[in-house]
Amino acid sequence: MSRHVLVPVDGSPLSERALRHALQEFPDADVTAYHVVDLFEPEYGTRDDFDSVYEPMLGSEEWHRFVTEETDRLFERIGEIAADDDRSVTTDSDIGQPARLIVEYATEEDVDHVVVGSHGRLDADRPLFGSVAETVARRSPVPVTVLR
């Protein structure tokens, strides 16, 4: 039985489903919801309210404030989902390449199972798995459950 389950979260419906699955399927495990801010994701890299959509705010004080607010909102939602199951969830976040950091976290933090949604984005023409889910499934040192 798993003792520590890692659930990568990004606010998408599938990441919420993955969290609910982990809470129900691993009732005795510690669950960590882990959010990685992707530097190359458009909603984190540029903002329409700048003079030019091409002007990056990456690394600026405004960018850090925006990322912090978005992460806080995400973790508030995570807390609501956990409370629905009368559970508590540890939250953690980083900035960088999601797939690489998720695998590193699973390796370094004594995780023994990862539960991940197959996609973070909704796209009718998407392949079966998103690139992050596929990379995590291939490189994780522990079993991975991918939810569709």
Tell me how many domains the chain contains. Answer: 1
Q: 52 falls in which pLDDT band (50, 70, 90)? A: very low
Using an 8 Å Cβ cutoff, are 145 and 20 in contact?
Answer: no
DSSP for 76-123 reads: HHHHHHHHHTT---EEEEEES-HHHHHHHHHHHTT--EEEEES-SS--
What residues make up the domain containing 89?
Answer: 4-147
86-102 pLDDT, tens per residue? 999 999 999 999 999 99
Q: How far apart are CA 147 and CA 106, in angstroms?
A: 18
Q: How far apart are CA 86 and CA 111, in angstroms?
A: 22
| Cα dist from 102 to 78, 84, 97, 136, 145, whole Å | 18, 25, 9, 7, 14
pTM of the predicted model as reported, rounded to 2 decimal places:
0.84
- Ranking 20-29, 63-72, 120-129 by mean pLDDT, the lowest is 120-129
First to last CA, the chain: 23
Residue 131 confidence (pLDDT): 81
